[in-house]
Amino acid sequence: MGLDFDWNDLRFLIALHRGRSLVAAARSLAVDPTTVGRRVAALEKRAGARLVQRTPEGFVLTEHGLRLLSAAEGIEEAFWSFERAIAGGDSRLEGTLRVTTSEILGPLFLLPFLGEFKARFPGIQVELAMSTRVLDLMRREADVAIRLARPSGASLVSKHVGQHTIGIYGSAAYLKRKGLPTSSADLRAHDWLGYDESLSELQESQWLERMIGPVPYVLRTNSPRILLDACVAGYGLAVTAHFVERHHPTLRRVLPEEMPPPRDIWIAYHRDLRKLGRVRAFVDFVTEICERERARLQGQGHRS
């Protein structure tokens, strides 16, 4: 490898290894797929060896590519550690704060309070990414994550900020058409909306199966937001968070005595950012909001 070696090309090798496809790698780097292919090919030319090969499961690294990957990830971690060290010393209450959360918590719980956060901290600009995938706090894809399961990682600081409860819901139009269930046995005769196999481990999905047996799904999805929208549209019953009632007055809770276990709400950030002013301000704000809204999060004062 000559002195003209471009360390920036390593980003493309790492992204292709993690994404397994040119499209996925391009998406993570905000470039087009042809750029990924071109940069990896240039890296192979300078290395004088094949680094990747295409398989039915996607791109995989060759033995030489794996050796280079190990060094590349070490360089990547050193870069992000340096970047976090610089950012972590900034105590000012200004700048951009990248927050990732779920499709339901984001728009239906957090978003209504961001105006209050902006009024308190006008110098902080929030970027909100709503996704079911866990954005990487190590690589600053996000500064703060709000999740319904404790994010793992020895370098992460995780704080439990509350719980939200879950129930069975249907739209007024659906219940008028199909009838209101009065017992768990009645639920087997209803149309159900649920998650697909990729989210079958969610406790609400498992709880529903335990309660009524094989679930007669009419729609399955990997998107909590699509699930909720389909329920509001009258397509069937769904298990969703109680706090959605505030935004969807046509929803009615079914069998309020039947509830799966509550979901914990966690907020996490990298320990290198614990002194970053805008991170501290946001964590304190979310903690305050979860305490203030505890009754709504736990389904008290619901409609039925």
pLDDT at 3: 42
Which tokens go with 142? 């996000």
pLDDT above 80: residue 76: no
CA angle 173, 174, 175 (to 5 degrees): 95
pLDDT in tens, 78-106: 665 555 555 545 567 888 999 999 889 99
Lowest mean pLDDT among 29-38, 133-142, 251-260: 133-142
pLDDT above 90: residue 240: yes
**CB-neighbour burial class of residue 156 (10 A; exposed 0-12, middle 13-18, buried 19+):** middle
pLDDT at 77: 64
More confident residue, 116 or 14: 116
Scan for tokens 């704080």, then name that residue: 159
pTM > 0.75: no
Q: What is the pLDDT confidence band of residue 10, given thresholds at 50, 70 and 90?
A: confident
pLDDT above 90: residue 43: no
Strands 166-171 and 156-164, bridge-based pairing = unpaired
More confident residue, 205 or 67: 205
The string of DSSP letters for the chain reads: --TT--TTHHHHHHHHHHHSSHHHHHHHHTS-HHHHHHHHHHHHHHHTS--EEEETTEEEE-HHHHHHHHHHHHHHHHHHHHHHHHHHT---S-EEEEEEE-TTHIIIIIGGGHHHHHHH-TTEEEEEEE-SS---TTTTS-SEEEESSPPP-TTEEEEEEEEE-EEEEEEHHHHHHH----SGGGGGGS-EEEE-GGGTTSHHHHHHHHHHSS--EEEEES-HHHHHHHHHTTS-BEEEEGGGGGT-TTEEEESTT--PPPEEEEEEEEGGGTT-HHHHHHHHHHHHHHHHTHHHHTTTT---
**Which backbone phi and psi does 221 adopt, to 5 degrees?**
-150, 160
Q: What is the pLDDT confidence band of residue 57, given thresholds at 50, 70 and 90?
A: confident
More confident residue, 184 or 236: 236
pLDDT in tens, 177-232: 999 999 989 999 999 999 988 887 888 889 999 989 889 999 999 899 999 999 99
Scan for tokens 């779920």, then name that residue: 102
Q: What span, in angstroms and rounded, lies between the C-alpha atoms of 157 and 175?
A: 44
pLDDT at 292: 93
- Average pLDDT, whole number, for the chain? 85
pLDDT at 1: 43
pLDDT in tens, 125-170: 999 988 655 556 666 678 899 988 888 777 888 999 999 999 999 9
Q: What span, in angstroms and rounded, lies between the C-alpha atoms of 28 and 26?
A: 5
Q: How many residues does the chain have?
A: 304
